[in-house]
Amino acid sequence: MIEFEQLYWLWLFFPLLLFWLLLWLIWQSGYRSMIGYFGKERLAMLISGFNYPVEVIRKVLLLLALGLFVVALVNPRSGIERSEVTTESVNIIIALDLSYSMLAEDRSPNRLEVSKQRAMELIDLLPGNHFAYMPFAGSPELQVPLTTDIDGLKTAIRSSRTGMLPLQGTSFAALLDEAQDYLDRQGSGVLVVFTDGEDHGPEFQGSLLQMKKKRFPVFSILTGTEEGAPIPWRTASGGPYRMDIDGNRINTRMELEPMGQITTETGGLLLENPGPAEMARMAQRINEFRQSGIAQGSYTVYADYYAFMILAGFLFLVFYQFAPIIMAGRVKKNFQ
């Protein structure tokens, strides 16, 4: 079945047709004036090789050539195959929590730096996969689309810092919505969240339901302690730690929920301050989505015909240019 990829170029047909009609009317007016003044026989003697039917054909060839160039822009194509495929790699979103609580130093040097290191360790344990980087706080931001450029990905992770996102806080609902939308466009994938587990965003149950329906598992690595720690806030004008509105020092704790619920209900895995063996176990679980064929999709193989349109247009231009020579003596009948 033929379809057109770039339909918005069709508007070019209107100025093209107007241009050709104007050209035709000007030519017809000039031709009739010369016939009226010289007559057909004298005009044929004055303009060597002039033949009215040939000139009509030339004008039609010009219109066809220009029309084919417009059709080439529209790009007619046909889908010749549709196949079910099993991906050979897993699409993995690395989501790093950049809220201020990640500066707490209950893990040395702080939660954020430890989480960065864990993220890069996991990437090294998952060779051959595609990674995207989506840091988040009060809202997520896709900084690195799916890529196999591991060095570039790690550079983006290393350079991340708290305060770089415009909306602070921690919203798992916003993260799940953005991740679900992105993975849905890719057809498959998993989300891996590096966080301390604190959630200050809106209700996330609706977002979790969509992740479950789409079968996008969520994995998470929590960093911190349940006892918690204050958040450093070392500025020239302020004290050493962040304070609440009453002037009390804020103490932030690692929280197992709601991330525990999210990972369990989506079929993922939650780890708290993991060591190398646990990191390897998570990598193995993520790789199962490639080996089991869960990540599936479909595609259509298209045959594009724009090149044929361009070639045909050029051929018509050649005929337009050389029609008087090619058709000399062949067209005898005058349409007038």
Domain spans, the chain = 2-80+302-326, 88-294
Beta strands 130-133 and 190-195 are unpaired
The whole-number pLDDT of residue 335 equals 41
> Exposed (0-12), middle (13-18) or buried (19+): which is 240, by Cβ within 10 Å?
exposed
**Token pair for residue 279?**
């990191």
Do 217 and 191 contact (CB within 8 A), yes or no? yes
The whole-number pLDDT of residue 270 equals 97
Q: Which residues contact 84 (CB under 8 A, 6 or more apart)?
A: 296, 297, 298
Angle at 259 between CA 143 and CA 104, to 5 degrees: 70
The whole-number pLDDT of residue 332 equals 46
> Which residue stretches of 292-334 are H helix?
306-326
Residues (pLDDT < 50) of the chain are 235-238, 291-299, 331-336
> Which one, of 111, 180, 115, 174, lies nearest residue 141 by Cα?
174
The whole-number pLDDT of residue 298 equals 47
The whole-number pLDDT of residue 148 equals 92
Interatomic CA distance for residues 213 and 231, integer angstroms: 37
The whole-number pLDDT of residue 239 equals 56
Interatomic CA distance for residues 117 and 175, integer angstroms: 21
Interatomic CA distance for residues 221 and 196, integer angstroms: 8
The whole-number pLDDT of residue 123 equals 97
pLDDT tens, position by position, 180-194: 999 998 888 999 999
- Tell me the C-alpha to C-alpha distance, in Å, between residue 323 and each of 40, 54, 310, 315, 328: 21, 7, 19, 11, 8
Amino acid at 15: P
The whole-number pLDDT of residue 79 equals 65
Q: Which CATH superfamily is domain 88-294 in?
A: von Willebrand factor, type A domain (3.40.50.410)
Q: How remote is the C-alpha of 248 from its chain's centroid?
A: 46
The whole-number pLDDT of residue 44 equals 65
> Which residue stretches of 39-110 are H helix?
40-46, 52-74
